[in-house]
Amino acid sequence: MAARPEGTPVWTDAMFTDVEGAKTFYGDVLGWTFGESSTEFGNYTQAYKNGKAVAAVVPPMPGQDGEPQSAWCLYFSSPDVSATAEKIRGAGGTVLMEPMQVGEFGSMCIAREPSGAVFGVWQPGTHEGFELEGESGSYVWAEVFTREPAKADDFFSSVFGYRSKTMQDGEMDYRVFDLGADPVLGRMVMTEEFPPEVPSYIQVYFAVDNCDKAVEAAERLDGRKVFGPMDSPFGRFAAILDPQGAAFAVIDVKTTVGEVPEMV
């Protein structure tokens, strides 16, 4: 697999106090199976769809204080994670976990952009990232949800060299970042509908065959529907909180309706 351009989303994982519960939930909702946990790397456990790596789940690190908040973390590709960490600092971001080597798999760091969204950076080694994308049960899209769009826009463009366009829609402030021809990330402004205690975050979308059935499966396993299901020009989608509080979205990309709004 050719190396993905810098700034391309390449991986996602989440920390769960109840890893077995997370495996049951996502196995049912997204059809994932799971590999053996890697004791050498904190019982990191990869998820697979049709035998291809799509995500991972991991328990809290030993000695971590308090009850950690479960959340999906999106990782962006970098040819040099240390250099990217310096660019993050220079653009006003905060490096929460310094660059570190993860065996032969690659190198990583965790950071927070100026408006508050946490993300990861991944410099691939033998683990190059998603083995399946855009198909049922795999990563398909992500959006930065923020109350301070100017800060987020400037940051991501500065660090990863994104170009961006604004959607021509009077009802919402939505921007799409790209690395040339292909869009790689969206940005949505958080409205008063979001409780004030909810910080900026990056919402990861997973493709499903049927959005409504995925929501029903999530609710059956004590997940909670936050928004939708509803149709959009990009497909029928819904936002969900899993039983441990991790937010994600599902979208049936086969149900695309109408024309995609123009970007300016």
Q: Please give the Cα distance from 121 to 11 (Å, whole number).
A: 9
**Tens-of-pLDDT digits for all 264 residues of the chain?**
557 889 999 999 999 999 999 999 999 999 999 998 776 667 889 999 999 999 999 998 755 555 568 999 999 999 999 999 999 999 999 999 999 999 899 999 999 999 999 999 999 999 999 999 999 999 999 999 999 999 999 999 999 999 988 876 656 788 999 998 789 999 999 988 888 888 999 999 999 999 999 999 999 999 999 998 999 888 899 999 999 999 999 999 876 544 444 555
Residue 195 lies in a domain: yes
Q: What is the pTM of this model?
A: 0.92
**Structural domain for 109, as ranges:** 9-124
Question: Are 154 and 50 contained in the same domain?
Answer: no
We report the CATH number of the domain holding residue 203 as: 3.10.180.10
On whether the CB atoms of residues 185 and 176 are closer than 8 A, the answer is yes
Residue 145 lies in a domain: yes
Q: Which of 83, 101, 124 is the last residue of a domain?
A: 124
Q: Please give the Cα distance from 207 to 244 (Å, whole number).
A: 21
Buried b (16+ CB within 10 A) or exposed e, 102-120: beebbbbbbbbbbbbbbbb
Residue 129 lies in a domain: no
> CB-based contacts of 83: which residues, under 8 Å, 6+ apart?
none
Q: Which of 62, 95, 124 is the last residue of a domain?
A: 124
On whether the CB atoms of residues 91 and 154 are closer than 8 A, the answer is yes
Question: Are 100 and 167 contained in the same domain?
Answer: no
